[in-house]
Structure 1
Amino acid sequence: MRPLFLSIKGFGPYLDVKISEQDFKKLNDSRLFLISGEIGAGKTTLFDAIVYALYGTTTIEKRDPKALVSHLVQHQANLLPEIEFKFFLDGKEYRIIRRLPFKEKGKKLSLWIEGKFFSDKEKEVNSKIQSLIGLNAEQFKKVFLIPQGEYRKILLAEKKEREELFKIIFDTFLFAELEEFFKLSLKELQNQIKSNLDRENQIKKLANINELKELEDQIKETKKNLSTLEAEVKNLTKERETLSQEISTKQTLLSDLKTFREVLQGLENLFALENEIKQKENRLELLNTVKDYLPFYEDFKKFKQEIWKVRFKIKDLSAKKIKLSAVLNTLSQNLSQVLSQIPEIEDLKLKVKELKQLEEKLKEKTALEISVDQLSKEVQSKDEEIFSIREEIKKLKQLLEENSEKLNLLLKIQSWLNEEKQIRQLLEKFTKLNHFLSKKPELENKVANLSTEIEKLEKQKQEFEVKNLALTVAKALEEGKPCPVCGSTSHPSPITDKNFTEELNNLEKILTEKKRDFEHYKTQFQTLEIRIDTLQTELSPYQEEELKEKLAQIEAQKSAYPELVSQYQKNPMIIKILEGKIKEQKNILSKKETEEKDLSLALENQRKKLLLSKGRLEELTNSLKALLTEEISLEALKRKIVTEEKKITEFETQKTDLEKQINSLTNQKTAIEQDLKNQKEFLQHLLTNYKAKVFKLLPLKRQKIINRWDEFEELKPEIGKIQTLEAEIKDFYQKKERLTAEKEKLTQKLESLGLKNLEEIEAQLEVISQNLEALTQKKERLELTFKRLNQEIGIAYQKLEQLEGYLKEYQELGKERERLEKRFGFLSKLCDLISGKNPKGISFHSFVVSMFARTIFQRANEYLKEFSFGRYTFVEDMFLQKNVSIEVFDVYTGTKREVKTLSGGESFIATLALALGTSDVITYLFKTKPFESLFIDEGFGSLDEKTLEKVITILLGLSEKSGRIIGVISHLEYMKEVFPLVLEVVKDRSLGSKIRLIQK
């Protein structure tokens, strides 16, 4: 992956910043660069932004991305927190935009591939990113951004702490959970076996036995008792069936006798009711006949009443007709008198019309006079308002001109101050350069002197070593034996017994101290030379005297505007405030000019309207002068019109009322005449029907069924009882028929008993009841015995079922325990092996971590060999030991030693090798393509300048060899001086951090 573009809005300490494609190109071309800035400026937030854009999460575990929404964005109406990131991967360009949830706005996400829209669905985009990169967010962080401090902890930590760090890096918690799973499973098996044994003991206690054979004997004894009880029940069942059959026969006979008795009694009761039923049959016949003729009677009665009503109505209508004719004659005479006034009224209407036209003109004239007066006042008011606005516009223009002039001066002052600041910084660097140049000869002399001293001391040391060696040889010389140096067997003048070891040790201490001083001053001298070269390169375009002259000119320019300079220095925001004020004044001026233009246009329209109104007023005045012979007011004219209209209305009302009355009465008379004719025709129709109904009813009188018409009214209430009478009669004959049939049937059935009357039946009933009671009592005693035996059988079955259940459960528990104990043995061995009770004494989790670590250290060795120029390699066979400490093999000494013994610089390159090895292994394990970019976070604070320079050279070589772009993150200020390209994050609490690229 190679980053191409990054835009951050409202995220962390950033309000709105971009790293453009041109900036990323410079970083790519440089290969090695520094990301610098104060603590909290937002260096690591750049990677938070990239990780959030790709995965929707942050580089810090459990940190909610919402917490990264900048407080600066709260008052920015048009700015929403979002990250836009473009990168190049596997030959294609990808662009992703991910917006954070903010206020009422939800999350938003979209992905483009090669400039074409791919998706805005979170699931699809996340899946695509995962498949592209091949790593999840946690793995990506470990490969893309190397936390140098964490890897240093691994090297220097104790075994237990190191294992925990390895677990975090390799994410091997699953294997730890596996070990815990086996322990819990083993514990659960132990509990199951214990529970099994407890249940076996519980069953023995419940069955009241000591051994399984006792339980089997109890089951046999219970089965034997059960067989005996079931045989007794079988015998009792047969006896009960015989007894039940006999009781049933007796009960049937008793029932038949009771029924026979009831039938005979019923028939006697029915014979007593026969006369009453005959009377009801005669009454029913009369009521049915009356019911058939009742409709004719009802019609007869109705027609009779209608005839009387119609005759009365004909008489009433004839009287009304005579009265109406007299009233109509009088009204017609009155209408003739009123119609004679029509010519006079028509003249009056014409006069009123003329008066109304005159009234309208007078009204229009009055309204126009008011309108003209009002328009004149409005024109005068608008004139005054326009004058006022024009004065305001004039003042605003003057104020705007003053503020614009002030703004131009402030911008000049800002430019002068910025230039002054830059010049002063450059002059400070000239001062620093002069100081360094003055210091250089002194350091150079110290280095040269120390070099000469060390050379002398080395010669002295060599002399002492030779003497010490000679002393050792002299001590071993024996007369007659050859000297190992010269071969002589004679030793006339051997070296004295003086010991040079102490002098040699003292000399070595002095030499070590001198070498340390030499290295110290040499490093200082080299650092000084680098700083001098850096400053000379930076200051080469400038001349110190020219800068001083320029500074004097700026001071002179500033002195011309002391007040404004002071204002700007106290409040640099004054320019923005003034710009805002000018913008506001321009808006007000624009509004006022628009308002003045609108008012002028409105005034012109009002003037035109006023001229038209005056012209119409003059025209009306002339017209009224021609019409009026004398002066008359509008009120007087209105009163005259009302008087004349009143006369016309009175005439119209009188005429209309008379016409309405005549018309209404004529219609009433016509209606009465028509109604009178209809009523007479209806009377003839009623009389015809009345005679027909009387003819229908005459047979009843002739047959003497009724003697008078009123009898219909008397019998009418009883007609509703016809159904009741019919039902009573029908019920009587049905009962008689049923009881007669039952009597015949029972007589045949009980023929063997020879029963002839109720007394004999009652006697027989008494005998059978006594027999039945005796049999019932016998059966009840039998049922009690039967019930007792069944209860005993039930108890025996229950006991047998319980004992067999105990036996079955006991046998199953035995089989289950055997299975559990077998599994427990296997799982116990497996658990011991996984938890570390094995020949190596290492748990499975530690073994997995060790394998990961061994793989990483094998890869890290390739880097460590290169970084240390072949001197150091990690010892790879140490990870399966119980008490492991990370060691390196030192080629110079041919021995192993702990990493803790390495110097600061050596420790750093070991840490860096481990970090790069981890990154490579994770990339390989997850089958992802190597990243083109790599970032190293902090960890440079422990390096001296010489080691730092060496590390940078190593990193640059690594970058060129691997083709990677390497970014180093650090807050240390002096680091900026040794990197050729710096991406600086500048902290600003009020406006948000900014980013600038510094290329040397």
Structure 2
Amino acid sequence: MRLHSLEVTAFGPYRDHQVVDFDQLGADGLFLLHGDTGAGKTTLLDAIAFALYGAVPGARNDAKRLRCDTADAEVNTRAVLELTIQGQRLRLERSPEYQRPKKRGEGYTTQQAKASLTWIGTTPDGQSPEGLTRIDEVGRTVQRLLGMSVEQFFQVVMLPQGEFAKFLRADTGEREKLLERLFGTERFGEVERWFVERRRERWREVEAQSQQVRELNARISQVSGVPQSSEVGDENWLEDIQKQALRELENTRAEHTRLRRERDQAEARLTERRELAEKVRRVRQANAALAEIDAKRAEHEAWRAERAAATSAIPVITARRAAERAEQERDRAQAEVATWASRCEVDPEAPLDELRSRAGAERERAGALAQLIPEAQQQESDRRKLAELIAKITADERRETELAAQRDGLPDRITAARTRVEEAKHAELRLDTVRTRGSEVAALLTTAREIPAAQRELETAKGNAQQAVDAHQQARDQLQDLRARRLAGMAAELATNLGDGEPCPVCGSAEHPAPKQPVDDQVRAEDEELAQTAEQRAQAARERATTAAQQAEQQLANLRERLGEHTEPELADELEQLRAEQNRLSETAADLARRESELAKLESATDELGEQISALRTGIAAARSENTALTTAIEEREARLRDGRGDFDSIADRRAHLLDIADRLERLIAARTARDDAQQRLAETRAGLAEAATAAGFAGVDEAIAAERDEQRLAELEESLAEVDRRAAGARDALASADLFGVDPDTEVRLEQASEAATTAREAAERAAALAHRAEQRHTELSDLGERLRAAWAQLGPAMAEHAELEALADVVNGRGQNARKMSLRAYVLAARLEEVAIAATRRLQRMSDGRYSFVHSDAAGARGTRGGLGLDVLDDYSGKVRPAKTLSGGESFLASLSLALGLADVVAAETGGALLDTLFIDEGFGTLDADALDLVMDTLDELRAGGRVVGLVSHVEEMRQRIAVRLRVRKSRHGSSLELSTS
């Protein structure tokens, strides 16, 4: 990396645009940024870092204050850096985020951060010729080209003020964090965490397997009743339990077989007794059923007679119901005849031929009116059409009048629209002038409002200045008074120091006949010095107050000069009027497009209105002609329809009336015919009813009706008689069966004794079966648990061995266990890097310290067992002892810090491709060095630039400036010109 130029604008203390040409500055490989404290030397380094990474070194990055506080609001803060990286020249430009005054109104708005990267010359492959404008893309590209992060850059290329000395004095933890950021050893930390996590996972697996073994042990102990074994893999304990379970199973099975035979014998005896008891019960039950049926024989015969009579009466009942239905039909037909005769207003018994003739005549008249119905419908349609024509003619005539009035008023509307368009165009032209004037008046008003505060500040400053003058005058009077009084008492002051035999400091005499006695208000030298110091402080305060008063007066004069003859009320009124006018002009100008569109519509409306009026007039003439023809046709048709309607409202109403009369007459004829048929059927059914009663064997119809029974009663009789027959047949069949032959109903069966014996034998067999089943279950469960326990033992042993090995490795990797130095893997790698840094830094430190000091890397463990590996001490060759770096003096600490920073930069550069890092900046206090040490430092820097690197120094030490000037003059005599940059 080689820098070419740097441009800063409104950045830090630089209010205006500044340019630094590094090609000219670095021509000799060494240059100095020189200036007073606070002049902005370090700001140039901040600008380089900001242009590259968007960040600045150290705590200044946390402040987020990169913009110049005195820069004009219109000037944007930016830093532009042109440099070459890996043979590719590019230009970086960045602007930070900051608050700027709003362009309109009061307050502040946020100016967003920006970044851009522009390729100069050829564009790299895969990159856009237009460059990059996104902040994240610019940052990633710069870090990829440089090959280092921002932390590495500040440690390798730019050694910031007060930062690189921290590494020398840092403790192990802080040094570890810095080395991790520089060398990117996070992957080794991942390895440490991997081992810890893997150990944790394996421990969880081992613990799960151990828990499984414990659970299986507990389960086997619970099932077998034997106490648990504390040993893992105790095969003898498990085999004893399984053999005991097998013996128990064989014993319970043998006992169960014996008791099962006894149960079968007892149940066989019980079955025989139950069969005999059942036969005796069946014989007794059959005899009892037959006796009961014989006792109720008379009742059963009465049921049979009632059922037979009801069955014979069924045909008679059916015939009676048919006669009742025929009578009902006759009555309904007679009522229908009366109803329709009343509706037709005729005699119900009028001849049918007369009724038929009258109905036919009515239908003929209705048919004659059918041909007039279409004409009636057409008449209604024509009347509606006539009304629509009249309404259309009226609307078109009214529309014609309106359009004519619009056409007559168009010229005035067009003139007014053109006036509004011109007004909007004029407002658009006037708007810029009003805005400009408004900005000027607003600025003047702000100035006018600042004057009262400036006046108060001036009055305060003047009062402070007058007080400071009075205080200084008082202090000076006090000093003069003390000096006069001290001179007056000087003899007494000298006399206090005289001694017998000692010479007088004034005359030299050893005799002092009449020394002056001290006065009560004797003034001492200390009093005079205190008064002089107070007078000097008062004078400094007077000068500061006077300067502040002058600045306040100048500020007020500048404000009044900018304000001129204007006053705040006038400016406020004018600004309000300008804003009102600006709002009005803005609204008018924004309405220009709408007004132009309205004018265009009005100009094209004349022809459109003429065409519409012509079309309306043509339509009105055609409608009037059609109206006349339609009116004549309606009047002619109305005469024919009037004769057909008669007294009705319409032809359809009269025709419907005639058809209704014919329909009612026809319904009366149908009702008369149905009534006659119903009377004939009624006579036939009554005759059939009498014949059915005689055929069923009844004396008459009434007797047959009395024998009628409902279906429920018949079903009850049928079911009761069938039940009697079933019971009698069942009892006879039971007594006649072979299995009951010879069974005496009085036989005594002793069933209770056989049942008790069978129950006792069954319970004993069931208990034996349960014991055998439990023994079998216990044997099966113990066999299964034993296999599972043996498998768990087989898995647990290797798992515990693997965990122990992994735990030992994890402890070693993390600096515990067998790791004697208590160094983790990450610390070990960092210690190796630190050892390289110590070797590289020692070469420079020995040269700078004239061979006295060397760095010593220590990998010993820290105090109280803390991790080691990152210790860094100093070997003092004068004493031959190793000293902590914190015991070095200020100048020695600077030499050690600079050597360590340069060594660290070399090692990091080697890691990241340091051959490309051609530029190095050192911002540190060289003022702590004496002349010889400064020479040694300059020799080291000469070695750096002799290797092709450009070294930029930042210092306010004048001797540093002179020594660099001498060295550059020497190189100038050998190699050409050189340049020194001084900022203020």
TM-score (norm: length of structure 1): 0.46
Higher relative contact order (CA 8 A, sep 6+): 1
TM-score normalised by L of structure 2: 0.47
